[in-house]
Amino acid sequence: MQAPTTDTAVRILVIDTSLILATTLAERLDALPDCSAEAHVGQKALPPRGMGQGPDMVICDPAHCGQSPDRLRAALTEQLGPHETLAFLPPSAASTAAACLEAGYSGVIARSESLEHFASAVESVLLGGIYVDGAFGDPGAPTEALTLSGTGDLTAREREVLVEVARGQSCKHIGRLFSISARTVETHKYRAMEKLGLANRSSLHSFAMQNAWF
């Protein structure tokens, strides 16, 4: 099922109590460009601490792990390192979806959605967006989008990352700040600077000063 992991592949871990569902989702995500996905199946069990190189994204249902959304995210971050977290919930779980977003999850998607819809949600999160499935109504935005002059084409996460890069912070520090991996930070930084036509940190700093970011 799992394609060989390359230095640029985004590592995705699917956690669920259903072997069939977890492996089916992982196989579909493995087919996405530059993605390497695997499944972890267990009844109210988290992956073992230090299971190889930490994932860039974890997909799970907090109810299946027997923890509240905030405690689960904290436990996953402690065991697997910083990453994006996507909640995979029953369509009736609007209150849990809201709690996930408040806890800093990168998105919520209904378990009733098709594989293609699911894959699109994952791609949206990997591009720096926050995905909220319409099945949950409007559980509320997790945070107010950061407003920066001259960055209209950037996603909210790209803005957050770029302003920290402009302040001189390392990708590792930024990853800890937003609870995502340094690899994900690098991806957001690269895409954001490419959109703005900036070649290096010096040009980014000049751009930030010209647009009064600080």
What's the whole-model pTM score? 0.65
End-to-end CA distance of the chain: 47
Classify each residue of 5-30 as buried b or exposed e, where b means 16 or more C-beta atoms within 10 Å of its C-beta. Answer: eeeebbbbbbbbeeeebbbbbbbbbb
Q: How confident is the model at residue 27 (pLDDT cuts 50, 70, 90)?
A: very high
Q: List pLDDT tens digits, range 84-122.
A: 999 999 888 888 888 888 888 888 998 888 888 888 888
The pLDDT, as a whole number, for residue 1 is 40
Q: List pLDDT tens digits, range 150-174.
A: 777 788 788 888 888 887 788 888 8
**Degrees, nearest 5: CA angle 91-97-103:** 160
> In the chain, what are the domains?
10-136 (3.40.50.2300), 156-210 (1.10.10.10)
- Tokens standing for residue 35: 């993605």
Q: Which residues contact 158 (CB under 8 A, 6 or more apart)?
A: 128, 151, 188, 191, 192, 195
